[in-house]
Structure 1
Amino acid sequence: MTKISIIGLGWIGLPLAQLLIKQGYDVVGSTTSSEKQTTLKASGVNAIQFSLVPFPQGKGFQELFTSEVLVINIPPRSRTTDGKFYLEQLKFLRSMVDQSGIGKIIYVSSTGVYPDENRQDAYTEEEEITEATTGNLTQLKGESTFQGIRELTIVRFGGLLGDDRIPGKYVAGRDNVAGHTRVNFIYRNDAARMLAWIIEKELWNTTLNGVAPVHSLRKDVYERNVLDLGLEAPKSYQNSSTENDRIVSGDKILSTGFDFDYPDPLDFPYSL
């Protein structure tokens, strides 16, 4: 039985763990909270309390590094920090990986690494990204931390939404909302399913975008939330634009045979 470790049993890591357990894998994951560890264990998920501060801290966390596959799912807090602490965390994590027998790694990244510029052509995994052109330098440096691992796959997720993450909630009642651009979203469980698919199909040594194939207008997504959930609508929108959008292609994962349960963000399920 293949053993899989998940660093970060959070919003994506937990449904991934639950899915992998159902599929028959031996799964162990980490959480920084002792309370959450207790709750997770009670629900049948083997959870270990483990923190990177930035050095490793916890009890029994060595078990996380006895698996064949490691999923690294600890996003940087790029909006509130300069990213240095996050990159130090990853350096310690890389050191522990190098001392282990782990040979297969999925590093969860973000489509934020692509340039911020709008253009006619969609951004694909073959895009050449440099420190000068990236939209998220911390995330790009995070990806490079694990280069050289024998079998490394980088997954760049778009906006992770669905369930209690409701895009219309963030713009309710606001003025001058940007609604004319198209989105690069993915539903929470589709993101978890995609990671499980990569492991099942042995899709190693590659980079894959995790983006739903339909790029709906932001305004349409917001208005759908208003209609379905009774949220307050934005008070006004910015003037529409005929300029290009910043679209990220999800065609590569589709070419492997993966199907999205929710290919259109207008259909994502939400709950208040």
Structure 2
Amino acid sequence: MKILILGCGWIGEALANRLMSEGHEVYATTTNSEKYQRLQAAGIFAIKANFDEPIDQSDFPSHIDFVLNSLPAVKRLDWSVLTARFEAARALLKQLVYRKHIFLSSVGVYPDRDGDFTEETILDARDNKLLAAEVCMQGLPHTIVYRLGGLFGGQRIFAKYFQDKVCTTGAQCTNFIHQTDVLNLIQLGFLNQLSGSCYNLVTPESSSKKEVILASAAKYGFRPPVAFDDQECFQKHVSSHKIRQVLDYTFVYPSPLDF
């Protein structure tokens, strides 16, 4: 297989290395010189490309099997920058021949309030930059959107970020996912027929953030927060039932307490 990864971040690089180990041909874009060298050293066809600047299409293969698109649509971006970034990506992909395109979005597309959220939840498009990026990418053929929960695994350990701090979100429920399950679901998504155009990727089981912090602190030897002060207590629960049902997938890490 020939795979193109746009925006080779933490998930993209892990996928690139896995696919390389399986004997596939991988192309990946980055704006980072150090990562460019690291990708090349791993045998990956690295492409220096910043989608906020003009793109040289000749750097890209014209025919590929699959595209993983993890260009970020972070909230701090100005609308003009975000629009230009994803229009540039869409213009590039329109010129390429591919079988399937998976765009990595986030469960941050759902509002931070009490509620149960599925792919069928009607969203307010006002000031929702993640949703705007999704809509832009869904204008391309053969496109699937994966809305990822909070990403953990490897050196990304939840307790690490709360050592000696006051945690104000401990009462909230988690919407997390382990890197291993993300990689598995990307590969399965490439190779299997998916009936929908959008899927949530979060663990089937949820815990409070406080429980996960304390469990990961004990497991990996991090100091716990100095205090839990529950100021932000909304219960936003995102369901991954749809992707589990469509792909008949059993999570390797079904609970964030397993991370």
Q: TM-score, normalised by structure 2?
A: 0.90
RMSD: 2.3
Post-superposition shift, 1:81? 3.1
Does the 8 A contact of 1:77 with 1:83 survive in 2? Answer: no
Alignment size in residue pairs: 258
Post-superposition shift, 1:246? 0.5
Does the 8 A contact of 1:5 with 1:29 survive in 2? Answer: yes
Post-superposition shift, 1:31? 1.7
CA distance in 1, matches of 2:56, 2:155: 30
Query: What does residue 166 of structure 1 align with?
Result: 157
1:5-60 per-residue CA deviation (whole Å, 9 max, x = no partner) reads 111222000111223334443321112233322222222322222222333259x5
Does the 8 A contact of 2:168 with 2:230 survive in 1? Answer: no
Query: What does residue 138 of structure 2 align with?
Result: 147
CA distance in 2, matches of 1:186, 1:11: 14
User: Does residue 189 of structure 2 align to residue 193 of structure 1?
Assistant: no
Structure 1 residues 244 and 37: alpha-carbon distance in aligned structure 2, compared to 1, 3 A threshold? closer
Query: What does residue 171 of structure 2 align with?
Result: 180
Query: What does residue 84 of structure 2 align with?
Result: 88
CA distance in 2, matches of 1:216, 1:250: 15
Structure 1 counterpart of 2:63, one-letter code: T
Query: What does residue 27 of structure 1 align with?
Result: 26
CA distance in 1, matches of 2:175, 2:129: 20
Structure 1 residues 240 and 139: alpha-carbon distance in aligned structure 2, compared to 1, 3 A threshold? closer
Post-superposition shift, 1:223? 0.6
CA distance in 2, matches of 1:156, 1:239: 27
Select which of 124, 128, 153 maps to 2:122. 128
CA distance in 1, matches of 2:134, 2:56: 23
CA distance in 1, matches of 2:103, 2:82: 14
**Greater Cα offset, 169-178 or 137-146:** 169-178
Structure 1 residues 202 and 61: alpha-carbon distance in aligned structure 2, compared to 1, 3 A threshold? farther
Query: What does residue 223 of structure 1 align with?
Result: 214
CA distance in 2, matches of 1:83, 1:267: 38
Query: What does residue 67 of structure 2 align with?
Result: 70
Query: What does residue 8 of structure 2 align with?
Result: 9
Select which of 241, 245, 259 maps to 1:251. 241
Post-superposition shift, 1:244? 6.4
Post-superposition shift, 1:188? 1.3
Tell me, which stretches of 5 or more residues in structure 1 are unaligned?
Answer: none
CA distance in 1, matches of 2:217, 2:164: 11
CA distance in 2, matches of 1:25, 1:176: 43
Structure 1 counterpart of 2:70, one-letter code: N
Matched-pair identity in %: 30
Post-superposition shift, 1:116? 1.8
Select which of 205, 209, 233 maps to 1:214. 205
Structure 2 counterpart of 1:66, one-letter code: H
Structure 1 residues 246 and 8: alpha-carbon distance in aligned structure 2, compared to 1, 3 A threshold? same
SS at match of 2:238: coil
Q: TM-score, normalised by structure 1?
A: 0.86
1:74-100 per-residue CA deviation (whole Å, 9 max, x = no partner) reads 12232x333431321110111111222
Structure 2 counterpart of 1:77, one-letter code: V
Does the 8 A contact of 2:100 with 2:190 survive in 1? Answer: no
CA distance in 2, matches of 1:152, 1:92: 16
1:215-258 per-residue CA deviation (whole Å, 9 max, x = no partner) reads 111111111122122222112213599x7620000111111212
Does the 8 A contact of 1:76 with 1:139 survive in 2? Answer: yes
CA distance in 2, matches of 1:189, 1:75: 20
CA distance in 2, matches of 1:175, 1:69: 43
User: Does residue 30 of structure 2 align to residue 40 of structure 1?
Assistant: no
Trace 1:42-57 onto structure 2 (pairs within 5 A). 42-56=41-55
